[in-house]
Amino acid sequence: MRLTFQSVVAGVGPSHACSAGRNATAFVVRRRHLLGRCGVDPAQPARRSTFMMQSSAQVARTLPSSPASARQAREFVSGELRRLAAGADVVDDLDLIVSELMANSIQHGDGGDIVVRVDAPSAKWFSITVTNGVASSLPPMDPTTWKVAATDLPSGRGLGIVRRLADEIAVTEAAGLV
């Protein structure tokens, strides 16, 4: 599975070719640098944080497709976001998003390595990319129609959680990009 913001921001996004050259499902999730995100009325304008980053940043880590990798991905993302002076609410939201996307990548991927990338393309946005480099076993998805599973079902809430926490989401198929 793949999470990126390439299709959301024209001209900004991943451009590294995957050595396998196979198609990957792309999940696009971006999160604004905001204060007071949790518990805020979504109808009200959000307050922006006061810090500005010095420059854009992009770092990645490759992890094996295993349940233990979800924790490693969260630690990697948290560390990078703190290094970039993200607020605690942003770190918490993106940690949960990474957990859900890692779970989907592990469950629906081919068992190959997973690449987790943190992008900070501007002083206003963070982006997280989770890629397993192959087409997902899930059908194509429109993020505006994601539904949360019923409470009596054992799974199926992850993408609904991602949708609630992310400011922008898109899903694409990308040939050979990581």
Over 60: is that where the pLDDT of 34 sits? Answer: no
Domain residue extents for the chain: 2-38+48-175
d(C-alpha 70, C-alpha 79), whole Å? 14
Determine the average pLDDT of the residues in 60-86. Answer: 91
Beta bridge partners of 109: none
- For residues 64-77, give the mean pLDDT: 93
Q: Indicate the average pLDDT of the chain.
A: 66
* 121 burial via Cβ count (<10 Å: 0-12, 13-18, 19+): middle
Diameter over CA atoms, the chain: 47
* Residue 175: Cβ-neighbour burial (10 angstroms; 0-12, 13-18, 19+): exposed
Which range, 9-18, 34-43, 140-149, has the best average confidence (pLDDT)? 140-149
pLDDT of 20: 31
Calculate mean pLDDT across residues 120-140.
69
User: Model pTM?
Assistant: 0.66
CA–CA separation, 12 and 125 (whole Å) = 12
3-state secondary structure (DSSP) of residue 24: strand
Name the CATH superfamily, with its identifier, for domain 2-38+48-175: Histidine kinase-like ATPase, C-terminal domain (3.30.565.10)
pLDDT one-digit tens code per residue, 81-126: 888 888 888 889 889 989 998 998 888 777 888 888 888 776 677 8
Q: For residue 126, what pLDDT is reported? A: 80
- Angstrom distance (rounded) from CA 96 to CA 72: 13
Highest mean pLDDT among 8-17, 123-132, 155-164: 155-164
Which band of pLDDT confidence, cut at 50, 70 and 90, is reported for residue 157?
Answer: confident
- Pull the structure tokens for residue 101: 């996307």
